[in-house]
Amino acid sequence: MSTDNDQARWTAVDAYVTDLLAPADDALTAALADSEAAGLPRIAVAPNQGKLLHLLAVTQGARRILEIGTLGGYSTIWLARALPADGRLITLEYSPVHADVARRNLARAGLDTIVEVRTGAALDTLSKLEAEGAGPFDLVFIDADKVNNPHYVAWALKLSRPGTLVIVDNVVRGGAVATPHPDDPAITGTREMFELVAREPRLDATAFQTVGTKGYDGLLIARVTA
């Protein structure tokens, strides 16, 4: 269990790293401010985590990105800035209110021409993407309701190609993922996701724990091999 002193130390280190390596600009700052003003939950990725997503997308040479869970579009901005001029990012958001905030934030950042925000239950939208032939995507970032994480990873596989990178956020759950918690659907969904990835021969994956301004959690990163 982390203490207040631990959290203060983690936050201070994040601030130091962010100031040097992932400084905010007007569009990112405004995206967070507008999200808070609209009453969105304060669960966007931290700036240094946003920079990590950006670097992974650049390293991947991504031209087509799928994001499941938009919130106010903060992580979307980081990812979309990694795309070439003719790239495309589709991001899925359940809440119409959140989606409207994200669209405004993306337009302010000058990214509305390459980013499409689709509203509705992601599992419904994903089936529509498949019917449209929207894939394959080069990178999939999953940061939505944790109950459906196994389904989102399964859909990421359907909409991928060999070499696609799949990233799942919030997979450590403050350490609670290590033991069953039958009364917590988010932990159950996350554990089912890990089990799916472990037995899926088309995925080569790892996960790691993180600490920082967002507390104690972690990421899963998987590469589609076939």
- 60 pLDDT exceeds 80? yes
Burial call 72-96: b when 16+ CB within 10 Å, e when fewer: bbbbbbbbbbbbeeebbbbbbbbee
Whole-angstrom Cα distance, residue 101 to residue 132? 26
The pLDDT assigned to 1 comes to 66
Take residue 139 and report the two structure tokens written for it. Answer: 């990178």
The pLDDT assigned to 3 comes to 85
Q: Which domain holds residue 161?
A: 4-224
- 168 pLDDT exceeds 90? yes
Whole-angstrom Cα distance, residue 8 to residue 50? 21
Whole-angstrom Cα distance, residue 221 to residue 44? 18
Q: What is the CATH number of the domain that holds 168?
A: 3.40.50.150
Sheet of 139-142, strands arranged across: 115-119, 88-93, 64-68, 139-142, 165-169, 215-224, 203-212
Model confidence band, residue 34 (pLDDT cutoffs 50, 70, 90):
very high
Distances 48 to 24, 117, 194 between C-alpha atoms, Å: 10, 24, 25
The domain total for the chain is: 1
Reported as a single tens digit per residue, the pLDDT across 7-26 is 999 999 999 999 999 999 99
